[in-house]
Structure 1
Amino acid sequence: MDHSLSLHGPAKTLPFLPPSKPRGPRSFPPSNSNFGRRRLLRSGVVVQARAGPSPCEFSSSPLNTPLEPNSPAGKFLSRVLQNQRQYFNLAVSDELKLLANDRDAAVARMSLSSGSDEGPLHRRIAQLKEHECQTAVEDVMYMLILYKFSEIRVQLVPKLSRCIYNGRLEIWPSKDWELESIHEFEVLEMIREHISTVIGLRANCSVTDSWATTEIQRLRLGRVYVASILYGYFLKSASLRYYLEECLASAHQDLHLTHRNSLQFPEAWSYGLKQNQVVGCVNNTQSISLGRGTNGHELKQEKLKCYVMGFDPETLQRCAKLRSREAVNLVEKHSCALFGDGQTGLLDTDEVILTSFSSLKRLVLEAIAFGSFLWDAEEYADAVYKLKEN
């Protein structure tokens, strides 16, 4: 059986972090007890993931990742995710609120001191606080992404240097089915075309073809990975836009059938939908759950690929562009940590790596999932902590 075809259908649009029930006695105070301010918890020892005996063996820890959080908020959430996962949702919410309050308080003090002798000092403090909070929010977004990967039991590929043995890159287990299961069928079809384009692997290839070896420069592999992150981000934005328009069209048809002679939508409404004037990046993903075929009416399905091909340049740019500066920084830091040392960028850019098509597919599928989860994390964080527009 081809597991890659066993999909869930349209993704349910539940909140990004659904509430979870504690598995045991509550050891953390509730949100109204200023959970995030318990700095004593942050002073605890960080549990480090141990490397396995083979170069690219994944450890049992969900935090065996290329990028390690450096901010107090990021380190704190990493311990919560690893040791007390049932409280992760609460911890994230509180940390975002604390960061927003810290930043806003510094800005308020700067405004009050404007024109006084202490004005330059408070302006500098506000700038430093803004930078500090931005770094922390990026770590929080990264932990949100790790949380989503842990939900499908997939660990991010560790630093690439740990996965190269005797000049060959191999990533096992591939986790293809898990990484594909987060997408609906029409999105998956576009992902398979993307994989075929960037690495030359056909969707219906044999096992022999999948494990055939190929050579690729490290620099090109890094570019493919980043491009796939952006593609996953774009697919998430475009598919949400698609289902929003489908939902509105369904509601339009239901209203037309119910009130055929008494109430009509203005012609400009449907014209606006056809001209792609609905905002591409949906602010409330829960609204999509109104779904298809309201009251049993089935609308003719438009292929997502054809829908995307009909985007005008402005709409295409709106859906493909990372909305926040924090998301841009996070993609850059993660890719540098994966393919380089995280400080000087990509290393040995002219190095040629011997690998299999299966390992290349694993990296591309991970990157696409990362982009999709990045869209969710950005949306969740922006609702509490206003991110910088890119």
Structure 2
Amino acid sequence: MLQYYLRMEPHLFRTAVDTELAKLRDEKRERAAKEQQLAASSDSTELALYKRMEEVRSREVRSTLEDLMYVSILEKFLLLGVDMLPRMDGFVDPPNTNLKALTEGIHSREALELVREHLLQIMGPTASAYSTAYVKMSKFQMAQVYAASVMFGYFLRRVDERFQLEKAAGTLPLSKEDAVARLERLFAAAESVEDSDNPDYAEGDATTVDLDSPAPAAPSLSSLDDDPTTWGLRDSARRASGAGASSSGASAAAGASGGSSPLQGGGGGGGGKPAKAKSALRRYVESFDQNTMVETARIVSVEGAALVERQTSALLGDIKKLTAQMQEAVGDDADSMQEAMSRMARAVEKDLVETVTMQVQTQRRSVLEAVAFGTFLRDVEGWVQGDYQLLTPLPAPKLPPQQGFAA
């Protein structure tokens, strides 16, 4: 029924979802009251039976809740006018879509810079290839890239929400760059007063200097005003024209293997170039300690974690099966990571594992779609928990004790 509303009567979709979520919330409250009533009674047998029935019902409710959250994410793609990728098997050639809607239509400008860096990093050298060049990779590698990008989008939304809130409240810590920029604006204002021929300039005509306003952004060689379909192509001018697309999928594997951390360095700049000034959002993220970073990067609900796996599996197949295929093809006796990557590339080349072949622009689209999915997942998760308190908390990972402190 919700799929019908989503496609045929979208103006009724949100009301229908709200109605279903309200039913689940009311049922949850009734079950909690019933359990308290039984716990207060002396009939332990009836309470034990009720708890077993409750476990079964909780699984059913969780499945229903995941369905509601999933279609709510799909609605956000429809509102953008973007069709999601179909299942990826063999040769993948989906119709073109509006990648600007997958970027500028979702993220703040500060976040958009980090999305670009993520795409260039996780695609590796392939990001600099021509959009119409073809790349072949294992479905296992593609699943790694997609899932890592979903997690990145989720992390980025959580970070950006926190950043924008602290920015609006004026509680952002003043970085070294911001402090220098603030002093420069103060000195510039003082010089303009000293250079004026009008002795009353400072009292009458001078404009107020806002020392807390952000410094003007320096022009960037990697302007975000260009089309996302060209992200990475500027680097290709520095490469040999024939070294663009890799048919082995090894470059994509390198990107996937490095995608476990939400932020890992710059966005593919050349080693001889001067370092580009970091954005305020990146500096904000880099100020996190280990505990804050881990807490912000993790999925906070059982339902959210299930939807990451559900979407990745819907697109590429059973993740456990793909993992087993790759483990069998690579073996467990590789002496180094380089040898393991070489075996992985050979397995892709000889079709020893399930593979996908696509244009670079399709791989770029898949990464941006995954980032958008993670972002929307966080939006829906926050809405469901904020209005209905239905999510199941996912325990935080336990970190090893930091050095320098007694255990």
Class of the TM-score when normalised by the shorter of the 2 chains: 0.5 to 0.7
Which fold has the larger relative contact order, with Cα–Cα distance below 8 Å and residues 6 or more apart in sequence? 2
**1:71-117 C-alpha deviation (Å, 9 max, x unpaired):** xxxxx322221222111121111111101112232232233223414
Change in CA separation of 1:235 and 1:308 when aligned onto 2, cut-off 3 Å: same
Change in CA separation of 1:297 and 1:98 when aligned onto 2, cut-off 3 Å: farther
Query: Which residue of structure 2 aligns with residue 356 of structure 1?
Result: 359
Identity %: 29
Following TM superposition, the consecutive aligned residue runs of length 4 or more in structure 1 with deviations greater than 4 angstroms are 341-349
Query: Which residue of structure 2 aligns with residue 175 of structure 1?
Result: 98
**Of the candidates 106, 109, 118, which is equivalent to residue 194 of structure 1?**
118
Query: Which residue of structure 2 aligns with residue 91 of structure 1?
Result: 16
**SS of match in other structure, 2:82:** coil
- Asked if the contact 2:80/2:101 (under 8 Å) is kept, the reply is yes
Query: Which residue of structure 2 aligns with residue 147 of structure 1?
Result: 75
Structure 2: gaps spanning 5 or more residues: 176-209, 216-278, 327-352, 395-407
Whether 1:308 and 2:222 are equivalent positions in the alignment is no
Residue 142 of structure 1: how far off its partner (Å): 0.5
Distance, in Å, in 2 between the alignment partners of 1:149 and 1:98 is 26
TM-score by length of 2: 0.60
Residue 127 of structure 1: how far off its partner (Å): 1.4
Distance, in Å, in 1 between the alignment partners of 2:50 and 2:377 is 33
**Of the candidates 220, 224, 227, which is equivalent to residue 148 of structure 2?**
227
Distance, in Å, in 1 between the alignment partners of 2:375 and 2:57 is 29
Query: Which residue of structure 1 aligns with residue 195 of structure 2?
Result: none
- Asked if the contact 1:103/1:130 (under 8 Å) is kept, the reply is no
Whether 1:332 and 2:309 are equivalent positions in the alignment is yes
- Asked if the contact 1:229/1:369 (under 8 Å) is kept, the reply is yes
Query: Which residue of structure 1 aligns with residue 244 of structure 2?
Result: none
- Asked if the contact 2:154/2:297 (under 8 Å) is kept, the reply is yes
Distance, in Å, in 1 between the alignment partners of 2:290 and 2:137 is 32
Residue 355 of structure 1: how far off its partner (Å): 2.0
**Of the candidates 126, 130, 139, which is equivalent to residue 209 of structure 1?**
130
**Of the candidates 108, 113, 122, which is equivalent to residue 38 of structure 2?**
113
**SS of match in other structure, 1:118:** helix
**1:298-340 C-alpha deviation (Å, 9 max, x unpaired):** 6225621122122111221122111111100111111112111
Query: Which residue of structure 1 aligns with residue 392 of structure 2?
Result: 388
Distance, in Å, in 2 between the alignment partners of 1:110 and 1:304 is 46
Per mean C-alpha deviation after superposition, the further-off stretch among 211-220 and 302-311 is: 302-311
**Of the candidates 277, 281, 299, which is equivalent to residue 213 of structure 2?**
299
Whether 1:101 and 2:15 are equivalent positions in the alignment is no
- Asked if the contact 1:152/1:178 (under 8 Å) is kept, the reply is yes
Residue 362 of structure 1: how far off its partner (Å): 0.7
Distance, in Å, in 2 between the alignment partners of 1:215 and 1:337 is 20
TM-score by length of 1: 0.63
Aligned length: 267
- Asked if the contact 2:158/2:378 (under 8 Å) is kept, the reply is yes
- Asked if the contact 2:143/2:319 (under 8 Å) is kept, the reply is no
Distance, in Å, in 2 between the alignment partners of 1:316 and 1:89 is 33
- Asked if the contact 2:126/2:360 (under 8 Å) is kept, the reply is no
Change in CA separation of 1:274 and 1:186 when aligned onto 2, cut-off 3 Å: closer
- Asked if the contact 1:210/1:356 (under 8 Å) is kept, the reply is yes
1:60-99 aligned at under 5 Å gives the runs: 76-99=1-24
- Asked if the contact 2:119/2:367 (under 8 Å) is kept, the reply is yes
Letter paired with 1:143: V
**Of the candidates 140, 157, 164, which is equivalent to residue 236 of structure 1?**
157
Structure 1: gaps spanning 5 or more residues: 1-75, 250-269, 277-295
- Asked if the contact 1:190/1:305 (under 8 Å) is kept, the reply is yes
**SS of match in other structure, 2:135:** strand
Letter paired with 1:98: K
- Asked if the contact 1:106/1:129 (under 8 Å) is kept, the reply is no
Distance, in Å, in 2 between the alignment partners of 1:147 and 1:346 is 31
**Of the candidates 277, 297, 301, which is equivalent to residue 320 of structure 1?**
297
Change in CA separation of 1:379 and 1:297 when aligned onto 2, cut-off 3 Å: farther
**SS of match in other structure, 1:196:** helix
Residue 352 of structure 1: how far off its partner (Å): 3.2
Distance, in Å, in 2 between the alignment partners of 1:241 and 1:209 is 37
- Asked if the contact 1:213/1:356 (under 8 Å) is kept, the reply is yes
Distance, in Å, in 1 between the alignment partners of 2:55 and 2:24 is 14
**SS of match in other structure, 2:390:** coil
**Of the candidates 42, 50, 60, which is equivalent to residue 122 of structure 1?**
50
Distance, in Å, in 2 between the alignment partners of 1:377 and 1:311 is 25
Distance, in Å, in 2 between the alignment partners of 1:327 and 1:243 is 23
Distance, in Å, in 2 between the alignment partners of 1:248 and 1:198 is 34
Change in CA separation of 1:201 and 1:96 when aligned onto 2, cut-off 3 Å: farther
Residue 173 of structure 1: how far off its partner (Å): 0.9
Change in CA separation of 1:354 and 1:149 when aligned onto 2, cut-off 3 Å: same
